């Protein structure tokens, strides 16, 4: 069994990074992401399904050019190949991200 507390993992993210992989198995991986006001998340896509859970904070997500506000409690699913970026962070935005299969395994 793997177990973690999101805030503890977020505190361990290096200053020069925006995420850390907290759990990894063959079929799934989980990252904890943390953005602060002024951070930039470039437009990108992954080859895996992604499920984002907003643990705290608020901001916006740009998906294929459509921007939507996100805040604590929101859950977002992105299919493989979906261009996206997070932006306009209010203070700190902390999210858990579930990748299926595990991030990078489709490369």
Q: pLDDT digit string (tens) for 27-59?
A: 999 999 999 988 989 999 999 999 999 999 999
pTM, whole model, 2 decimals?
0.92
Domains of the chain and any CATH numbers: 25-100 (2.60.120.10)
How does DSSP assign 46-87, residue by residue? -SSEEEEEEEEEEEEEEETTEEEEEETT-EEEE-TT--EEEE
Longest dimension (CA), the chain: 39
């Amino acid at each position: 069994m793997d177990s973690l507390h999101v805030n503890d993992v977020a505190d361990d993210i290096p200053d020069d990074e925006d995420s850390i992989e907290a759990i990894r198995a063959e079929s799934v991986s989980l990252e904890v992401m943390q953005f602060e006001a002024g951070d930039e998340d470039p437009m990108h896509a992954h080859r895996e399904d992604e499920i984002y859970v907003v643990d705290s904070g608020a901001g916006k997500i740009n998906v294929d050019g459509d921007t939507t506000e996100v805040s604590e409690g929101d859950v977002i699913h992105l299919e493989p190949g979906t261009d996206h970026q997070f932006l306009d962070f209010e203070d700190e935005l902390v999210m858990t991200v579930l990748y299926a299969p595990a991030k990078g395994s489709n490369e």
